[in-house]
Structure 1
């Protein structure tokens, strides 16, 4: 392997390209293809350069099928990116009921992160989130 094919941390360029493809698959709701890579050993809680997990990216991009698939494979619902945002906050920001419900059912804390999902719902006047919380958290 030549020096040009590695970054300063010694990670092969091919590995970085594959990781970027997996992050893109999460954004584009390509649950089946992403699942194949995860089942082959790709880390479910891998982070991009901004600290986003695939779960955070899927939740932000209305990729509910991918959110569910990642949760089934053990994605950490409480990971936060470099801005303190978690997947639930992203789903609430995008007013994605399906992703928010899946994340809450998987144990995501509505008060975690900065801002939290609860704070985000209030900030953007999304009362449906309060209904989701009442339904799932009592």
Structure 2
């Protein structure tokens, strides 16, 4: 019968003079890889939300610009400037938050576009260059 140290086996160094492997290291690479993947996914999600917000801001600005221009054009006729602006803003996928006539010659609008986590807003004004002040 062979006698050796208690607990000696080929797995943990088995008396060959090689130090036993640390039991706590098993699977550490997997945990590290999962943590890195989770970090990349979180970063990617944050960047996607940022891109979505920037896109919504751009759509809101376009809707505001077109709404203000449409309203100012309606002022030149005898139309309802804010009504025309609201219709134009709505057709561009936004909601008119405010519309006001400035000096009877300019239209100032503020619009809002819904996005995943919230809302994006923009403002614009339009009218003849002589009305600037």
TM-score under structure 1 length normalisation: 0.25
From the CA coordinates, give the structure whose radius of gyration is larger: 2
Say which structure, 1 or 2, has more relative contact order (CA 8 Å, 6+ apart).
Answer: 2
**Larger strand share, 1 or 2:** 2
The alignment's TM-score, normalised by the length of structure 2, stands at 0.26
Question: Which has more helix, going by share of residues?
Answer: 1
